[in-house]
Amino acid sequence: MTERLPRGCVTTLVIIFLAALIDGLDVSIVTVSIPTMAGEFGVSLSDSSWIVFAYVAGLAALLLPMGKFAKNGRVKRFMILGTALFGASSLACGLSREYWMLILFRMVQGVAAAMMSSVLPSMVVHMLPPDRKGLGMSVMGASSGLALILGPVIGGVIADNFHWGWLFFINVPICVVIVALAAAHMPKDRERDPEKDPTLAGGISAMLLVGSLLAILEDFGDPDIEAIGRAVCVIIAVPSAAVLVWSIKRDARKAVISPKMLRNREFIVIGTAFLLCTLVVSGGQYLLPYMLQGYWSLSPLESGLYLSAVSVAMILLVLPVGRMCDRFGCKWPSAAAPILRGTFCALMIYLTIEGCEPIFLLIPLAIFGASHAFSGTAQPTRMIHHATPGYEDEATNFMLVVNYVASALGCVLFAMVFSLSSGGGPADIGTDGLRNGFVPTMWFSLIILAIALACTLSVRNKVVKAERE
């Protein structure tokens, strides 16, 4: 018989679910309407990528310092203030009449999302029982998967029937609900310790380093920055990295990345496996639309329906995977992620070479979605379990930063391998070129996944037991 959740856990899970939902929606719901917004503001499709990138950069760049601040007695405050700022900036985005205003408020949205996202690991770590952390991570995963399905659908309906501003206005009522639940049900913040807040140098250098690296990676994938802009990013990244290392060595207690966490071999190996798996996910998601529409001749609507199999499979499995992690540990569910993704790659190689009917693609796509459930739930939960004691929420914030950087790097890396194999980019070549580029890229994925699996299996399994009264 399944044990009932302790009092207050359900409300905590609802807050986690809604916060993760609007974070995920704010990328997927906007993407489908980028051409419409680009046309209204008179910008190129290349420049319009900043509508998404400004949000992601603001979020990823501030996650590490925000996580350090949140951990030090600001969990409830950050959830309420971050959600309120997210709602206000969403309203401002929808009302923007100049492109620079939209980009500015999208970046503010990213800052607000960083405040919210930095709180979620602390909620999972400190507000859920030790044997329910897998459940907490699976709820976050289910919410993200639902956002992937609902985002393009809701975005398409809004784009066809309403002004694009409603893509952002839709966040406002959800933010109101989150603020009300957090104010009424989240426990009062404990007293802050001034000695545990991050140093100014460490916080700023971490923000500038992550932001400049993301800008460089984004430009490699979709060149839209002038040469001087690339040089500025490099000039910012190098001294920022040096200052970050100096700040960590100078004051370990206030470091945005704890030296103890970086010296934790198990955590680093598990994080490496997560990074490698994320590379394959982002690279695969980048190439799949081109293959579905260019190689298998599906319409955009048909390819969207096929890709929904990925999200459906993920949503169906995230909660069972979370329960599995809580009962038996995360090692074997984590190992299932690269195995399932390897199966997806092998099947896609076979179907591409044989030129099979598109309907058979539903099998590897469903397997790809299943791998998301295992990777998005088991690997982050395992990082919490193997984190240095006292640094669990910082470890999870570090994992989120790795996720964003790996997502950008995956697109760049797979685009490079594809171009070297085919002689051109996926949008510039015919059917034969798509096949010649895609098959070697999938073999490259299998090599990455084999390394990820070896890393996963090299770390012991750890089962966290329920606390007994």
Tens digits of residue pLDDT in 426-459: 656 788 888 999 999 999 999 999 999 999 999 9
Q: What is the pLDDT of residue 172?
A: 94
Q: Which of 77, 149, 450, 147 is nearest to 310 (CA)?
A: 149
The pLDDT of 289-305, averaged and rounded, is 79
| pLDDT value for 257 | 80
Average pLDDT over residues 324-347: 94
Report whether pLDDT(1) > 60. Answer: no
For residue range 156-169, list pLDDT tens digits in order: 778 778 888 998 99
pLDDT at 344 (0 to 100): 97
What's the Cα-to-Cα distance from 301 to each of 247, 275, 305, 311, 430, rounded to whole Å?
50, 31, 6, 16, 21
> pTM for this structure?
0.77
State yes or no: pLDDT of 195 exceeds 60. Answer: yes
Rounded Cα distance, 17 and 255, in Å:
30
Indicate whether 176 pLDDT > 90.
yes
Residue 469: the pLDDT is 36
Exposure class string for 250-265: b at 16+ Cβ within 10 A, else e: eeeebbbbbebbeebe
Instruction: Bin 357: left if φ > 0, else alpha if -120 < ψ < 50, else beta.
Output: beta
Q: Are 114 and 59 in contact (CB under 8 A)?
A: yes
Position 222 confidence tier, pLDDT thresholds 50, 70, 90:
low
pLDDT tens digits for 58-111?
A: 888 888 888 888 877 888 999 999 999 999 999 999 999 999 999 999 999 999
Question: How many Å apart are CA 57 and CA 80, to the nearest integer?
Answer: 22
Q: Could you tell me the pLDDT band of residue 123, with boundaries at 50, 70 and 90? A: confident
Reduce the DSSP state of residue 185 to 3 states and report it. helix
Mean pLDDT of the chain: 84
User: Which domains are present in the chain?
Assistant: 1-188 (1.20.1250.20), 199-255 (no CATH), 260-469 (1.20.1250.20)
Above 60 in pLDDT, residue 468?
Answer: no
% of the chain at pLDDT higher than 90: 30
The more confident residue out of 32 and 12 is 12
pLDDT at 366: 94
Among 424, 425, 412, 420, which residue's Cα sits nearest to residue 221? Answer: 412
Are 366 and 310 within 8 A, CB to CB? yes
CA angle 215, 259, 461 (to 5 degrees): 95
